[in-house]
Each structure stands twice: as C-alpha cells, then as structure tokens.
C-alpha cells in the first residue's frame, strides 16, 4: 500500500521489485483508513509505505488517532509499515511518529540528511525490528555497498559539534519566510492550495492540466512537478507541487500566469 498522492520514484521502485501497488488516498489526518481496511481484507498486503510527517506533496502530518488505527491494522493483518521521515529536521517538534507509538514492532523507520545538509550526502539510517536488521543490512551491502566513510565522518562532526542542530534551526526560519512569500504570490496568481501550506512543498491547484503547463514552464527554464507524477497511474491533474524555496520570486509567478493562459 502506498499513499496517493505520493512520489513517482517510489512507485517505480516498488513496481521494479515486482510489488503490486495499492494506492491509499492521503487526507489531512492521514491515510484513508476505510480504504486501507478494505485492502487488508481483499489483498492481504505485506507493506505500507508512508511519509507520515510533512507528507510529500501535501505537507500533511499524521494525526495521533490515525496513527493508532494504522498500527492496529498492521498488527491485525500482519503487515509492516515503512515510515519515511525524510523531512524530520524541518518538521514540528510535536509531530506524531508511527515508530514511536509502535516501538518498532511493525514499523521500519527511515530517515537521512539529504534534505537538510546536501543532496549528494547520501547518508541515511534505518531503525527496524531486530529480526529484520540483518536482512536490511544485507540488502544495503548487496545493492549499494557502503556509504563513503569521509561523508559519514563529516556528518558525525556536524552532529558532535552542534552544527547540524544550529543549521536546522536557521533553515526552518528561512523556510518559514520563503513559504510566506510563495503562498502570497501563488494566491495573487489565482492559485488555490489543496492542502494547508507546510514544510518544504505546496500542493497547488492551477485550474489547468499541469502536464502541459510544466512543459511550457520548462521551456522558460523553470522545473515543476506536475500532479500526474504523484499518482500511481499517472492520471492528468490540475494540481502541481511547488518548492517554497524556489518559488518566492515574483518573476516565477509572472511566467506561470503567462504559461497558464496558454496551456
């Protein structure tokens, strides 16, 4: 089971592994629990992949009640939950984590530092039930070998010296400012937000086919993520994901308005 909307790369990876993808609509509270329960009865799924905090692309955070119900389903129907906490360093301190409620019985927690330090620092970490750790480690070694030791040592230094914590605090402040500017400009451009703006991304309704719009914007030098990318079956959509850090300039929205009119 995967959340929809969700990230196309994730869908492709799961499909390449031979998995059958079952899309679960993501709401403001969390995954649609009725759909999950129905899948459990009909298909006996083995895995649920979730970005529980600052969900990509909506920015929603999982509510405690929904988290409790997801874990109840996992225990009752014998499936594991992969909790992708990629945006942990910019998330609210009070955000609910499935792994914290579950104590790593049915959950596999995955996070890293690419979104807060540098994309090329591919250093991450999992936390998992003891009986899965060795299998996960073997998969890591067989697929990508080891992470470069130099990057691991650099990251360890950032953590030990408090650099990561102070950097994350600065980034959160700057992101809050960028989000406020981007939201104001998006509303002035005639867009609406399909989800309350939060985190790094905004889920914006443009009113036109965003596949065509994103191509026109690309011709102008702007890269957008069209709504179809976030659906398992690549369905046409008027929604698009914006990055608040890269859409806070008026020029972007001026080009957007012109290209939307031509789309």
Same-domain pairing of 154 and 200: no
Residues found in the chain: 263
Same-domain pairing of 143 and 82: yes
Q: State the residue range of the domain holding 175.
A: 164-262
Same-domain pairing of 21 and 131: yes
Nearest of 42, 98, 91, 51 to residue 70 by alpha carbon: 98
pLDDT at 261: 85
pLDDT at 133: 95
- Provide the 8-state DSSP code for 232: T
Same-domain pairing of 241 and 112: no
Q: What's the CATH code of the domain at 236?
A: 3.90.1150.10
262 within 8 A of 216, measured Cβ to Cβ: yes
pLDDT at 183: 98
Residue where a domain stops, chosen among 110, 130, 160: 160
37 within 8 A of 4, measured Cβ to Cβ: no
Same-domain pairing of 80 and 106: yes
Query: For residues 213 and 204, what is the distance between their CA atoms, to the nearest angstrom?
Result: 13
Residue where a domain stops, chosen among 105, 132, 160: 160
- Provide the 8-state DSSP code for 205: E
Same-domain pairing of 83 and 179: no
198 within 8 A of 54, measured Cβ to Cβ: yes
Residue 32, phi then psi, degrees to nearest 5? -70, 110
For the record, the structure tokens of 10 come out as 């994730």
Nearest of 257, 238, 237 to residue 247 by alpha carbon: 257
Residues of the chain short of pLDDT 50, as ranges, are: none
pLDDT at 263: 65
Same-domain pairing of 248 and 147: no
pLDDT at 148: 85
pLDDT at 121: 80
Same-domain pairing of 13 and 134: yes
Query: For residues 25 and 209, what is the distance between their CA atoms, to the nearest angstrom?
Result: 21
Query: Radius of gyration over alpha carbons of the chain, in Å?
Result: 19
Nearest of 213, 201, 183, 210 to residue 243 by alpha carbon: 201
pLDDT at 89: 95
For the record, the structure tokens of 186 come out as 């998006």
């Amino acid at each position: 089971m995967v959340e929809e909307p969700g990230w196309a790369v994730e869908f492709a990876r799961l499909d390449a592994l031979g998995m059958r993808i079952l899309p679960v609509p993501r709401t403001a509270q969390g995954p649609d629990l009725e759909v999950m329960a129905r899948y459990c009865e009909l298909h006996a799924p083995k895995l649920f992949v979730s970005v529980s905090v600052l969900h990509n692309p909506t920015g929603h955070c999982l509510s405690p009640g929904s988290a409790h119900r997801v874990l109840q389903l996992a225990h009752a129907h014998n499936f594991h939950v992969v909790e992708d906490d990629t945006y942990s360093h910019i998330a609210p301190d009070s955000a609910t984590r499935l792994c914290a409620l579950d104590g790593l019985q049915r959950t596999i927690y995955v996070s890293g530092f690419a979104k807060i330090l540098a994309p090329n620092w591919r250093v991450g970490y999992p936390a998992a039930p003891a009986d899965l750790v060795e299998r996960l480690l073997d998969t890591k070694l067989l697929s990508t070998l080891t992470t470069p030791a130099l990057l691991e040592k650099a990251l360890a230094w950032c953590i030990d010296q408090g650099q990561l914590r102070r950097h994350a605090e600065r980034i959160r402040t700057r992101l809050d400012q960028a989000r406020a500017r981007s939201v104001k400009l998006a509303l002035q451009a005639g867009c609406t937000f399909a989800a309350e703006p939060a985190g790094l991304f905004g889920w914006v309704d443009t009113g036109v086919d965003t596949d065509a719009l994103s191509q026109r914007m690309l011709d102008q030098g702007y890269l957008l993520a069209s709504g179809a990318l976030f659906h398992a079956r690549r369905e046409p959509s008027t929604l698009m994901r914006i990055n608040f850090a890269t859409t806070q300039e008026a020029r972007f929205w001026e080009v957007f308005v012109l290209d939307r009119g031509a789309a």
